[in-house]
């Protein structure tokens, strides 16, 4: 016997506004993945392989963020509606910190989107979604801190020691590991 039908004919009572907002957020997480993959390719093309590696892992983590929302919607019997993803810029301006400035601003805009989702979940009394979002609230603190810390180091690369600092940061970023989020068996 099937479950009760929700607002979209899906097998859940998942709130329609929340479902739309999460489907939209899946698009933004996938766009972030695209954006950082584009930065990774650009850093590689200018010989900064550590930066390229770091951004490639960032792109993988963004895809994981999208999949965390995706799995959540499916676990509640909601309907996934994948949306069109814009192409990111493919050429980034020198010096190398310009792309990181853009990344920092992009992460701040993602934080604002997550905060809006938290407010919506609160208004709609959707406690399960509210709980899920607390993970993303914490994650955004880390995301902004990562970008800001690297930017601070790069800001020191403008003096005569610049190239040394740049290559030091490049080496440090090359050591980043990838830790996939736990996903359900499928
Ligand atoms: Fe998934 Fe960097 O926000």
The response to whether residue 65 sits with its C-beta less than 6 Å from ligand 1 reads yes
Domains of the chain, residue spans: 16-173
Give the distance (Å) from ligand 1 centre to CA of residue 53: 17
Cα of 77 to ligand 1 centre, how many Å? 24
Number of Cβ within 10 Å of residue 145's Cβ equals 11
pLDDT of residue 120 exceeding 90: yes
pLDDT tens, residue by residue, 163-181: 888 899 999 999 999 999 8
Band of pLDDT at residue 122, cut at 50, 70 and 90: very high
- Classify domain 16-173 at the CATH topology level: Ferritin (1.20.1260)
Does residue 143's CB lie within 6 angstroms of at least one atom of ligand 1? yes
Convert the pLDDT of each residue in 137-156 to its tens digit: 999 999 999 999 999 888 87
139 CA → ligand 1 middle, Å: 8
Rounded to 5°, the CA angle 65-47-45 comes to 65
Name 134's Cβ contacts closer than 8 Å, sequence gap at least 6. none
The pLDDT of residue 22: 98
Beta carbon of 62 within 6 Å of any ligand 1 atom: yes
Average pLDDT over residues 103-122: 97
Q: Show the tokens assigned to 175.
A: 């050591």
| Closest-lying ligand 1 atom to the alpha carbon of residue 29 | 1
What pLDDT sits at residue 40? 96
Instruction: Using pLDDT thresholds of 50, 70 and 90, give the confidence band for residue 4.
Output: very low
What is the model's pLDDT at position 186? 56
- Residue 9 in this model has a pLDDT that exceeds 90: no
**Pairs from 92-99 (Cβ < 8 Å, separation ≥ 24):** 92/38, 92/39, 92/42, 94/46, 95/157, 96/43, 96/46, 96/48, 96/51, 96/154, 96/166, 97/151, 97/154, 97/155, 97/157, 99/39, 99/42, 99/43
Q: Ligand 1 in contact with 53 (CB < 6 A)?
A: no
> Is 107 near ligand 1, meaning CB less than 6 Å away?
yes
Q: How far apart are CA 10 and CA 120, in angstroms?
A: 21
Stretch among 32-41, 54-63, 67-76, 163-172 having the lowest mean pLDDT: 163-172
* pLDDT given at position 162: 78
- In ligand 1, which atom is closest to the CA atom of 107? 2
* Concatenated DSSP letters of 86-115: PPPPS--PSSTHHHHHHHHHHHHHHHHHHH
Cα-based torsion angle of the residue sequence 51, 152, 30, 76 in order, rounded to the nearest 10 degrees:
130
């Amino acid at each position: 016997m099937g479950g009760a039908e929700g607002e979209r004919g899906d097998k859940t009572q998942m709130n329609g506004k929340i479902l739309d907002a999460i489907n939209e957020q899946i698009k933004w997480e996938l766009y972030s993945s695209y954006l950082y993959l584009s930065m990774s390719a650009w850093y590689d093309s200018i010989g900064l392989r550590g930066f390229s590696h770091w951004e490639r892992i960032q792109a993988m983590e963004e895809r994981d963020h999208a999949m965390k929302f995706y799995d959540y919607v499916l676990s509640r019997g909601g309907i996934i509606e994948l949306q069109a993803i814009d192409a990111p810029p493919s050429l980034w301006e020198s010096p190398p910190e310009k792309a990181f400035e853009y990344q920092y601003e992009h992460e701040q805009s993602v934080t604002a989107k997550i905060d809006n989702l938290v407010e919506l979940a609160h208004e709609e009394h959707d406690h399960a979604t509210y709980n899920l979002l607390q993970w993303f609230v914490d994650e955004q603190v880390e995301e902004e801190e990562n970008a800001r810390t690297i930017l601070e180091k790069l800001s020191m690369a403008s003096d005569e020691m610049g190239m040394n600092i740049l290559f030091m940061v490049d080496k440090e970023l090359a050591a980043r590991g990838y830790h996939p989020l736990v996903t359900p068996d499928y």
